[in-house]
Amino acid sequence: MKVLIVGSTALDSIKTPKAENPRLLGGSASHAAVAASFFGPVQLVGVVGQDFPGRYLRLYQRHGIDLAGLQRRPGRTFHWSGEYAANMNQRRTLRTELGVFEQFTPELPPAYRDTPFVLLANIAPGLQHHVLNQMRRPRFVAADTMDLWLKVARSELLRLLRRLDLFVLNDSEAQQLTGEENPLAALPLIHRRGPKYVVIKQGSHGSILSGPHGRFICPAYPLRRVVDPTGAGDSFIGGLMGCLAAARGPVERHLRRAMVFGSVVASFCCEGFGVQRTTRVTRAQIDARVRELEQLTRF
């Protein structure tokens, strides 16, 4: 089945202690869409400006990503620049230029309104609501967020939680949302806000799923070298949703495996700048790392 993905489509200029890469393809929706595309058809909803390179449109297309929902507007594409510290865990935003993103209202092509799987990748909660308002009866809705929205759009985000099947956030966001530093203690407080399933991401330490049938500790694929972690979380949830949409039968049955696939796609994302590594990976390489993770965690 299809996955609709809405989020940011951006140009990222990323500095790490070892390299500097200007104007990479970035944004939550770009990373998530590329990740999901390994598993089945993807519809992308976003906005880009006149400066958006044609080669990035062709990259989306090579991944079979449906671009009917990608608006092209006069002005400049959303541009983020950031810098990572030596340990790759702390990053600092150097500059954010919203460009055409400032006026963005996601409008769904009529054909998208019946798409069964919806991923509201990281974007303002108001826009996430706006997309959901246009959907007929999606089968499974997941959303990601970021610390900024917890600060500046908290009540809209809390209202969104009631409309979700799955809410994904990282450990520091979980603390920001609930006041609980321990993710295990935060989980029940997040469920109380609405989502049936909650995933708390812990970077290189993997993630935890909590749902009506219990919890799952999902491993991260162990990497010896991280080149650029930008988009890893987006790749995780994109891979997860792509995998879920491709599976048959109840979502519950496939959720754990979908997380592991998401985790593996995220590991590839970290091995290159932007989507450079993810776009060169094959499905067979993804499957091989999933099997490796099986071996690595079996006891």
Two tokens, residue 49: 């400006």
**Nearest to its own copies of 92, 205 (CB atom):** 205
- The angle that helices 251-270 and 232-246 make with each other, rounded to 10 degrees, is 150
- The Cα 149–Cα 172 span in angstroms is 13
CB of 281 to its own copies, least distance (A): 19
User: Which residues lie across from 211 on neighbouring strands?
Assistant: 214
CB of 126 to its own copies, least distance (A): 33
Helix (H, G, I), strand (E, B) or coil at 281: coil
Concatenate the DSSP letters of all residues of 111-166 into one string.
Answer: GGGG-SEEEE-SS-HHHHHHHHHH-S--SEEEE---HHHHHHSHHHHHHHHTT-SE
- Give the residues lining the site for its own copies (CB under 8 A): 86-87, 181-182, 184-185, 202, 205-206, 208, 214-219, 222-226, 256-257, 259-260, 294-299
Q: In 3D, which of 269, 258, 261, 252 has the Cα closest to residue 293?
A: 261
**Nearest to its own copies of 98, 189 (CB atom):** 189
Two tokens, residue 63: 């991944």
**Nearest to its own copies of 176, 216 (CB atom):** 216
Q: In 3D, which of 81, 91, 79, 80 has the Cα closest to residue 17?
A: 91
CB of 225 to its own copies, least distance (A): 7
Q: Strands 214-218, 207-211: parallel, antiparallel or unpaired by DSSP? A: antiparallel
**Nearest to its own copies of 109, 222 (CB atom):** 222
**Nearest to its own copies of 93, 297 (CB atom):** 297
CB of 197 to its own copies, least distance (A): 15
CB of 205 to its own copies, least distance (A): 4
- The Cα 259–Cα 256 span in angstroms is 5
CB of 42 to its own copies, least distance (A): 23
- The angle that helices 125-134 and 154-161 make with each other, rounded to 10 degrees, is 40
**Nearest to its own copies of 65, 245 (CB atom):** 245
- The Cα 168–Cα 209 span in angstroms is 9
**Nearest to its own copies of 77, 170 (CB atom):** 170
CB of 255 to its own copies, least distance (A): 9
